[in-house]
Structure 1
Amino acid sequence: MIQEFKEGYVKVEREHGIATIEFFHPQSNSLPGKILETLAHDIHSEGLNAVTKVIVLRSAGDKAFCAGASFDELAAITTKEEGVKFFSGFANVINAMRKCSKLIIARVHGKCVGGGVGIAAAADYAIAAEGAEIKLSELALGIGPFVVGPAVERKMGTSAFSQLAIDAGLWRPADWARRKGLFAELHAEISGMDDSITRLSTSLSHYNPEAMHELKKALWKGTEHWDELLHERAAISGRLILSQFSKDFIEKFKSKQKIA
């Protein structure tokens, strides 16, 4: 099943109890609202699908894993309501991953920014390859990693999250992300990463679904309030993105893209 948009797509493939959800956008796998909405829907649907035992979440291509929020859509936001709606898309994806009854493995093959870091953190097990550098660039944009923050802090701890959030212009290497707990595994080659994902997903597809569901509930204990929390955080970003600071930053960013 594939849902294509004006730019990009989200597709779901199922084989032997493993559902692979793949997203793509030509701008470094950035995330416009339609892709966020479809990801949240498909993750929720596979959580309800009795045939699906485990989910692999990945992006297409061989460059960036995810560039975070779509700057085209950020530039188009003119009201607080539009801002809240857009950032709620990230909240909905993270909450769908959190509440999904199936374990989710993230395949992180390249650079990971903002919302992409949030997706990797919200996965139950993230497997990466060298080159999967990470950055939370939101503060430089004039907002902050408010929506993805709870997921990143839960996975990496307050210290590592604060380092990422405050030094918003610095890329952290993949090994740093592994040592801080974002990545469960880090492989020197893409082939090694894919072999490990195949091994783990195949093993999980033969485990007791009820036991895995109970394990996931135990692992996510204490996050039951995130439905409200993440949408409150989306409201903060939705307000801040309207600032002149953010408008100027987005304009400069888009101008650099045109020159490039």
Structure 2
Amino acid sequence: MIQEIKEGYVKIEREHGISTIEFYHPQSNALPGKILETLAHDIHSEGLDTNIKVIVLRSAGEKTFCAGASFDELAAINTQEEGIRFFSGFAAVINAMRKCPKLIIARIHGKCVGGGVGLAAAADYAIAAEGADIKLSELSVGIGPFVVGPAVERKMGTSAFSQIAIDATMWRPADWARRKGLYAELHGDVSGMDDSIARLSSSLSHYSTEAIKELKKILWRGTEHWDDLLKERAAISGKLILSEYAKEFIRKFKNKEKVA
């Protein structure tokens, strides 16, 4: 099943109890609102499918796993309501991953920016290949990593989260992300990464559905308030994206002018 989206898609492939959800956008797998909406819907629906035992979340292409928020859509936001609606899309995906009763493996084949780091953090088990460097660039844009922050902090700890949130223009290497807990595994090449994903997803597809469901509840214990928390965080970003600073940054970025 494939959900066609203007300049992108989200598709689902199912085999032997494993559901692979793949997203694509020509701008380095950026995340416009429609892709976010479809991802949240598909993660929720696959989680309810009794024939599915495990979900693999991946993106298309060979270079960038996810470039984060779509700058085209950020530039088009003119009201606080529009801003909240857009950033609520990230909240919906993270909460869908959190509440999904199936374990989610993230395949991180390339660089992650902003919301891409959030996806990796919200997965239950992220497997990456060399070159999957990370950056939380939101503060430099004028908003801050407010919506993805709880997921990143939960996975990496407050110290590591604060480092990448504050130094918003610095790329952190994939091995740093592995050592800080974002990636469960880091492989030297894509082939090794895919072999490990195939091994783990196959094993999980034979495990007890009820045991996995109960384990997931324990792993995410203490996050029950995130439905409200991430809405509050989306409101912060929705307000800040209207600032003069953010508007100017996005204008310069889109026009390929030098930005701070």
Counterpart in the other structure of 2:110: 110
Counterpart in the other structure of 1:45: 45
Q: Helix, strand or coil for the counterpart of 1:19? A: strand
What is the distance in 2 between the residues matched to 1:80 and 1:6?
A: 24
Q: Helix, strand or coil for the counterpart of 1:14? A: strand
Counterpart in the other structure of 1:238: 238
What is the distance in 2 between the residues matched to 1:164 and 1:12?
A: 32
Counterpart in the other structure of 1:132: 132
Q: Helix, strand or coil for the counterpart of 1:62? A: coil
Counterpart in the other structure of 2:29: 29
Residue 242 of structure 1 aligns with an amino acid whose one-letter code is L
What is the distance in 2 between the residues matched to 1:12 and 1:49?
A: 13
What is the distance in 2 between the residues matched to 1:107 and 1:252?
A: 32
**Quick one: percent identity of the two aligned structures?**
82
- TM-score (normalised: structure 2): 0.98
Aligned length: 257
Runs of 4+ in structure 1 displaced over 4 angstroms?
none
Q: Tell me whether 1:19 sits opposite 2:15 in the alignment.
A: no
CA RMSD, aligned part only? 0.6
Residue 26 of structure 1 aligns with an amino acid whose one-letter code is P
- TM-score (normalised: structure 1): 0.98
What is the distance in 2 between the residues matched to 1:221 and 1:103?
A: 15
Q: CA deviation at 1:204?
A: 0.1
Q: Tell me whether 1:177 sits opposite 2:181 in the alignment.
A: no
Residue 79 of structure 1 aligns with an amino acid whose one-letter code is T
Superposed, 1:1-260 pairs within 5 Å as 1-256=1-256
What is the distance in 2 between the residues matched to 1:93 and 1:124?
A: 14
Residue 48 of structure 2 aligns with an amino acid whose one-letter code is L
In structure 1, the gaps of 5 or more residues are none
Q: Helix, strand or coil for the counterpart of 1:12? A: strand
Per-residue CA deviation, residues 170-224 of structure 1 (Å, 9 max, x unaligned), is 0000000000000000000100000000000000000000000000000000000
Residue 60 of structure 2 aligns with an amino acid whose one-letter code is A
Per-residue CA deviation, residues 131-175 of structure 1 (Å, 9 max, x unaligned), is 000000000000100000000000000000000100000000000
Q: Helix, strand or coil for the counterpart of 1:221? A: coil
What is the distance in 1 between the residues matched to 2:31 and 2:231?
A: 18
In structure 2, the gaps of 5 or more residues are none
Q: CA deviation at 1:6?
A: 1.4
What is the distance in 1 between the residues matched to 2:14 and 2:196?
A: 18
Per-residue CA deviation, residues 50-77 of structure 1 (Å, 9 max, x unaligned), is 0000000000000100000000000000
Q: Helix, strand or coil for the counterpart of 2:45? A: helix
Q: Helix, strand or coil for the counterpart of 1:256? A: coil
Q: Helix, strand or coil for the counterpart of 1:176? A: helix
Residue 247 of structure 1 aligns with an amino acid whose one-letter code is K
Per-residue CA deviation, residues 48-107 of structure 1 (Å, 9 max, x unaligned), is 000000000000000100000000000000000000000000000000000000000000
What is the distance in 2 between the residues matched to 1:15 and 1:165?
A: 38
Residue 107 of structure 2 aligns with an amino acid whose one-letter code is R
Q: CA deviation at 1:5?
A: 1.2
